[in-house]
Amino acid sequence: MVLRAIFLILAAFAFAVQAAGADLSPEAGDDAVAAPAPSVGAARPEPLSHAAMVKAAITSYIIPHIDGLKAAAEQLPTAVENVCKTGTPAAQKDLDERFEKVVVAYAEVDFLRFGPMLEKGRREQISFWPDPRGFVARQLRLLLSSKDEKIAEPGALAKQSAALQGLPALEALMRDKDTPLGPGEAAHYRCIVAGAIAANIVRLTNEVSDGWEKPDGWADKLLHPGPNNDTYKNESEAAVEIVKALIVGLGLTGDLQLKPQIDPKIKLAPPYQKSDLQKAYYAASITALHQLYDTVDLESWLPPDRLWMKDWALGTWRALESSDGFGGKAAHAERDDVPTPREVFDRTNGLRNMVANRLSIAAKLTVGFNELDGD
Amino acid sequence: MNSTVIDRRHMMLGTLAFVGAAGLRPGFATAAGNDVAYVTAARLASGAFGILLLGADGAILREVPLSARGHDIAIHPSTGRVVVFARRPGAFAVSFEIGNKTAPHVFTPGEGRHYFGHGSFSQDGRLLYASENDVITGMGVIGIYDVARRFKKIGEHSTFGMGPHEIMLLADGKTIAAGNGGLDTTPDGGRENLNVESMQPSLTFVDAESGGLLAKHEMTGELRSLSIRHVTQDAKGVIWFGGQWEGNPSETPPQIVGSAGLDRAPKLIEPRGKGGDDLKGYIGAMAVSNDGRFIAASAPKAGHVVYVDTETAAIIGLSDLKDVCGLAPEGEKDFAASSGFGVIRYETARATTVSQHELQDIAFDNHLRRI
């Protein structure tokens, strides 16, 4: 066993060296076309200031997407109620569509793991995933066997396990083929629970939205750093928070969505697989990260001799967006070939490393090696 | 980036002082027999991960490649053998001798286990203890390895808690202190915490021989979300711990460094100001000075090192260094601190910088150990 472990470690090491070296070299791959040197005297655009980065991220990305999640979630309770009242295919289809919209909207903000999403554990409550120990199923079984209708009272579900409070628990009820949600007696209590979960998701997304947008909320905190600000002492600290979210998002996508496909030892169900939304989740994650990447425009800080990174990043986004995240081709793929899961994983990691170790430094933002997620 | 040449004379004096204080740490300043002063895991200039053996002037004397990111280092008391543990949820440890360039030996925690990044040798050097996860149950384990048999795993004790991080054999040679973070994680779930709402962090004391529980201090009430991560021990035998706050950021305690003992309940130190010390909820490493009087605690998210006089439990210094984390004693009363930006700085417990060295494109990992 030890020999096997050594072999695996050495193999992993060989790959790590390859990925770290080859992926980011200017010659690597067909996307790494050397950027033309700027002509003498040609004006380069001004780098986006740290304050402008924060403002752009908040106004162009964060607030619209937080609002989008809130708006999508508000449609859930009625859709659940209709299914439970009528059980018609039309009502079921409507709930499926509205559920998908919430899942996609959540995927677009999943990596904003600071501020209102972190406070009171709201992120885990909205979307308890990954769930390698099967907490959602276990907790749901316990609740359903209790048949305690007080769960429908305002605030009751909020006192329960995070695994019961959000989208995965609702999905489990929606996809139960033995006892589907509907008007029958068998689903009576399940509908009470589903209604409570839908209402709870609305509450949570409202709280997140309010936390961002209220006067002196998190948007104000980021936009007005200074000595009296308890979180961000200057504009660079605020900008680092945004860049860290981008790094976290690339890491989460790589480790939790992509790595299980190339490492057979990992047993982790993809997000919202019961609803066949894992590809939609991947696509939303990548689209969102790309949008935030473009919004903060770290590339505007690159010196002329590092402009090849722009081309590498462009090729990488094209590869990530040409994949459906599961070995297939995306609907709007720009590449003719299908990127393999290995390539998609490697490029996601490479991009994460480039943002953390190259672009952020070029932009004079110091994202620490040790501070990122603690240990 | 600016590099300042280290004050070599000071360092030599520091090294001599360290040797002079060796009685506090029997055998530590012996077997290396060369210029290696520190061991740390790091991200190298190539982007790959490795172990760095550094001279007192910060120069890299040897690199040992790793397949993935390492974390802390255990140092054998008499032979100069070191063991570097994988960062969680890694499942490898690498052993090699400081003064011998033979190939490193790799060993693993066995099926259904992974390392949490920390470990400690027995005083006689025959055994190695490692903090591990029982992946199925999520409970903490102290893996026991026979050094002479190429680190063959020969047993396990419980840490009596979930998600242990740093474990430390105390000066009595019989007791292991374990910082149980209280967090449930699995390798399949990456580094995601699965039970933040119900976490039960604790500081436990375990009989190293029998595995029996000697004492358990649970974090309760307002501290129920304070994940215990790192521990060290002062000259009087008091245990000092540093935590990571996993609760609402707005409810972060004003201080997250404290002390405890087998018969002494945990008590956090007083912050310097009314608003707290703004450590951003995370202590990344702890160290004690060689005279055993001063404690250092690094806060990488805040970019601070906090220095505490154990006589008064009062903060006597707070220094600034971006992404600082690794800490090690230097001389009798001073410390070395390393950062994710390749800086090694020597400073006093009053937070006065003695000297500083900087390596380009190197990111020092969370822990730094003095040979």
The pLDDT of residue A18 is 36
The pLDDT of residue B34 is 52
CATH class of A62-214: mainly alpha
Break chain A into its structural domains and give their ranges: 62-214, 225-375
Nearest CA in chain A to B186: A132
Neighbours of A55 (CB within 10 A): 19
Whether B25 has a pLDDT exceeding 70, the answer reads no
The pLDDT of residue A264 is 93
Measure CA of the first residue to CA of the last residue in chain A; give whole Å: 28
The pLDDT of residue A20 is 38
The pLDDT of residue B310 is 98
Query: What's the pLDDT band for B46 if we cut at 50, 70, 90?
Result: confident
Whether A364 has a pLDDT exceeding 90, the answer reads yes
Average pLDDT over residues A134-140: 97
Query: What's the pLDDT band for A367 if we cut at 50, 70, 90?
Result: confident
Q: How far is CA A340 from the centre of its chain?
A: 21
d(CA B268, CA B277): 12
d(CA B168, CA B205): 10
For A54, the token pair is 């924060």
Choose the closest CB to B92 out of A9, A132, A266: A9
According to CATH, the superfamily of the domain at B8-370 is YVTN repeat-like/Quinoprotein amine dehydrogenase (2.130.10.10)
Record: contact A2-B117, CB cut-off 8 A: no
Task: Flag the least confident range among A146-150, A304-308, B100-104, B267-271.
Answer: B100-104
Whether A42 has a pLDDT exceeding 70, the answer reads no
- Say if residue B265 is exposed, middle or buried (CB neighbours under 10 Å; 0-12, 13-18, 19+): exposed
Average pLDDT over residues B292-321: 97
Name, in order, each residue with C-beta under 8 angstroms of A241's C-beta and a sequence gap of 6 or more.
A114, A222, A232
* Residue whose token pair is 């899961």: A341
d(CA A363, CA B293): 42
Task: Flag the least confident range among A22-36, B98-112, B228-242.
Answer: A22-36
Choose the closest CB to A370 out of B47, B48, B300: B300
The pLDDT of residue A43 is 63
A104 or A7, which is more confident: A104
The pLDDT of residue B37 is 94
Choose the closest CB to B65 out of A5, A13, A366: A13
Q: CA–CA distance from B29 to each of A86, B33, B79 (Å)? A: 78, 9, 10
Whether A19 has a pLDDT exceeding 90, the answer reads no
The pLDDT of residue B22 is 26
* Residue whose token pair is 């090849």: A308
d(CA B323, CA B302): 8
Average pLDDT over residues B286-306: 97
Closest Cα in chain B, distance from residue A309 (Å): 16
Residues of A in contact with B189 (CB under 8 A): 130-133, 256, 268
pLDDT, mean over chain A: 89
Q: How many residues does chain B have?
A: 371
pLDDT tens digits along A274-310: 999 999 999 999 999 999 999 999 999 999 999 999 9
Choose the closest CB to B301 out of A268, A357, A371: A371
Query: What's the pLDDT band for A2 if we cut at 50, 70, 90?
Result: very low
What angle separates helix A188-213 from helix A76-86, to the nearest 10 degrees? 170
Task: Flag the least confident range among A20-29, A81-90, A238-247, B35-44.
Answer: A20-29
pLDDT tens digits along A222-231: 999 999 998 9
* pTM for this model (two decimals): 0.88
Average pLDDT over residues A333-351: 96
The pLDDT of residue A35 is 33
The pLDDT of residue A135 is 97
Scanning A59-118 for CB atoms below 8 A from B yields 114, 118
Q: Is-contact A65 A110, C-beta < 8 A?
A: no
Average pLDDT over residues B8-17: 26
The pLDDT of residue A366 is 79
Identify the bridge partners of residue B106 per DSSP, sorted by sequence position: B94
d(CA B370, CA B14): 12
The pLDDT of residue B33 is 43
pLDDT, mean over chain B: 89
For A329, the token pair is 């081709």
Amino acid identity, position A196: A
Amino acid identity, position B149: R
Nearest CA in chain B to A136: B194
Average pLDDT over residues A306-330: 96
Residues of A in contact with B1 (CB under 8 A): none
Residues of B in contact with A268 (CB under 8 A): 188-189
Query: What's the pLDDT band for B276 if we cut at 50, 70, 90?
Result: confident
Choose the closest CB to B186 out of A1, A6, A133: A133
Whether B19 has a pLDDT exceeding 90, the answer reads no
The pLDDT of residue A1 is 39
Whether A24 has a pLDDT exceeding 50, the answer reads no
> What are the backbone angles phi and psi of residue B247, rounded to the nearest 5°?
-90, -160
Average pLDDT over residues B264-284: 89
Record: contact B106-A369, CB cut-off 8 A: no
> Which residue, among A13, A371, A372, A373, would best test binding to B if mutated, counting the most B CBs under 10 Å from its CB?
A371
Record: contact A268-B188, CB cut-off 8 A: yes
Query: What's the pLDDT band for A44 if we cut at 50, 70, 90?
Result: low
Q: Please report, rounded to a whole number, the percentage of residues in chain B having pLDDT higher than 70.
A: 91
The pLDDT of residue B10 is 30
Whether A175 has a pLDDT exceeding 90, the answer reads yes
